[in-house]
Amino acid sequence: MDQRRLRRAAPIALAVTVGLGACTTGASDKPKESNQAPDVTTDVGVSGDQITLGVLADATNEYSTSVTRGGELWAAAVNEDGGICGRDVTLNVQDATADPAVAPTAYESGKSSVLGYLQLGGDAATTALAPSLATDGVLAVTDAPDSLLLAQPEVMVLGPTYDVQAINGLAWLAQQDQLTDGAIIAHVRNDSPSATNAALGVAAYAAERGLQVIDIPVGASDTDLTAAMTSAQQQGATAVVLSVSPAATTSAAIANKALGLDVPLVAGSESFSPAVLADVTATAAYTQLNFVQGFAPISASVSAAKDLASAYADAYGDDAGPGVTAGYVAGLAWQQILQEACDSKDLSRAGVQKARESVGKLDTSALSVAIDLGEPSRESVIVRTDPNSAGKLVLASEPFASDEADNYQLP
């Protein structure tokens, strides 16, 4: 067995800080009690009875949509429990589409009514909005953990970045005796910012472990990766990292089996869609896939995950996408920042920014790896598919950080 260290963190086990009620982002009928703070300073997005947060998501992207739904469930739970600072949380949801050129227009149309953003969809859109966020003093959570966004003080990147995920995914394979020093890794990737960021992690891990990397580019809209996987096989790859869409991931997994390549695969969970497991061939092919993420899957066998799964089923009725827990944790981050701002009697944008700097380590009810708003996360979990579980993903590891991730110099 590979003796390199995987620094194990606290297990994912829960005690939820807020209850999970029916999904609504409107006002709750439950009366506000001791958390009222009518004398706080406010400016944009806060009234006497409401705090409005924005959501700029890509409605065509399944992962982004699942993050949005997780945020909606958080807002519903907060409101059911009496709100924050005597106010209900309301979400202003806008579709920013997959085109980063649309995001600035959507942002300009909504910024005057929101305190900050619970979700910005995609790294390209977040990067495009970063100058406006800085000018306007608007705090935002991105659903695309690109390490290049860590330099943007108004952007909160929660959980491990794409490059750290890639490092931990490969380290996991090594720890499982599925990757040895001197091996050949193929990185099949499109030209998205997330794939480019993941490539930094693949390169860093390979350099530290003396591995060879084969870069195999594919188009962003490509859904048949047979040729890419054939290339990986012909070049002697013994593991493949996938930075592609869910449809392309399925094609790669099926080709991995059909070609007889049959090597372990690593991908981020944004590359997964639970709907693919309706296909028997895909289900069999996915046995070689190891998804890396920073959040507990909704199937985790603990009470809060079960409650979240139940609330999701009641609200939406379909299979929960892999971003639901990430969206809920984004809400928990905002909740702690808003409560800190409330305690300081300043719910203005500037007050919220100051509160963010004071929060430090988040209490995410163990729904994520350790997250500190002042330090990038080095931990990840591995999840694998299970067609019989909620969300179709189950934990394969506890939170851990590899030596290589701990040593990695973020860009």
Check residue 301 and give its pLDDT.
80
153 plus 166 within the same structural domain: no
Instruction: Flag whether 369 is in a domain.
Output: no
Q: Which two tokens stand for residue 85?
A: 């600072």
Q: What is the rounded radius of gyration, in angstroms, for the C-alpha atoms of the chain? A: 21
Q: What confidence score (pLDDT) does residue 98 get? A: 81
Q: Are residues 152 and 176 in the same domain?
A: no
Alpha carbons 52 and 118: distance in angstroms, whole number? 10
Query: Considering the domain boundaries, does residue 368 fall inside one?
Result: no
Q: Is residue 366 part of a domain?
A: no
**pLDDT value at position 39?**
86
| Residue 95 φ/ψ, nearest 5 degrees | -90, 115
The reply to whether 171 and 224 lie within a common domain is: yes
Domain match, 210 and 350 both? no
Together in a domain, 140 and 187: no
Number of domains in the chain: 2
- Judge if 258 and 394 occupy the same domain: yes
In 3D space, the residue among 385, 389, 365 whose CA is nearest the CA of residue 299 turns out to be: 389
Do 37 and 155 fall within a single domain?
yes
Same domain, 126 and 199: no
Residues 270 and 170 in one domain: yes
Domain contains 3:
no
Q: Which domain holds residue 400?
A: 162-293+380-407
Pairing assessment for the beta strands 381-385 and 289-293 based on DSSP bridges: antiparallel
Per residue in 10-46, pLDDT (tens digit) is 555 333 333 443 333 454 444 444 445 558 999 999 9
Give the C-alpha separation, 373 to 364, whole Å.
12
The residue type of 259 is L
Q: What is the pLDDT of residue 388?
A: 94
Flag whether 367 is in a domain: no
Q: Give a three-class secondary structure readout of the chain.
A: CCCCCEEECCCCCCCCCCCCCCCCCCCCCCCCCCCCCCCCECCCCECCCEEEEEEEECCCCHHHHHHHHHHHHHHHHHHHCCCECCEEEEEEEEECCCCCCHHHHHHHHHHHHCCEEEEECCHHHHHHHHHHHHHHCCCEEECCCCHHHHHCCCEECCCCCHHHHHHHHHHHHHHCCCCCCCCEEEEEECCCHHHHHHHHHHHHHHHHHCCEEEEEECCCCCCCCHHHHHHHHHCCCCEEEEECCHHHHHHHHHHHHHCCCCCCEEEEHHHCCHHHHHCHHHHHHHHHEEEEECECCCCCCCHHHHHHHHHHHHHCCCCCCCCHHHHHHHHHHHHHHHHHHHHCCECCHHHHHHHHHHHCECCCCCCECCCECCECCCCEEEEEECCCCHHHEEECCCCEEEHHHHHCCCC
Residue 4 in domain: no
Residues 94 and 133 in one domain: yes
Q: Is residue 375 part of a domain?
A: no
Predicted confidence at residue 11, as pLDDT, reads 54
Domain containing residue 283: CATH number: 3.40.50.2300
Q: Are residues 154 and 167 in the same domain?
A: no
pLDDT mean for each 10 residues of the chain (411 residues): 50 40 44 56 96 95 96 98 97 90 93 98 90 97 97 97 99 96 95 97 97 98 98 98 98 98 98 95 96 96 85 95 97 98 97 97 92 97 97 97 98 94
CA dihedral 128, 134, 136, 140 (to 10 degrees): 70
**pLDDT digits over 232-262, tens only?**
999 999 999 999 999 999 999 999 999 999 9
Asked whether residue 30 falls in the same domain as residue 155, the answer is yes
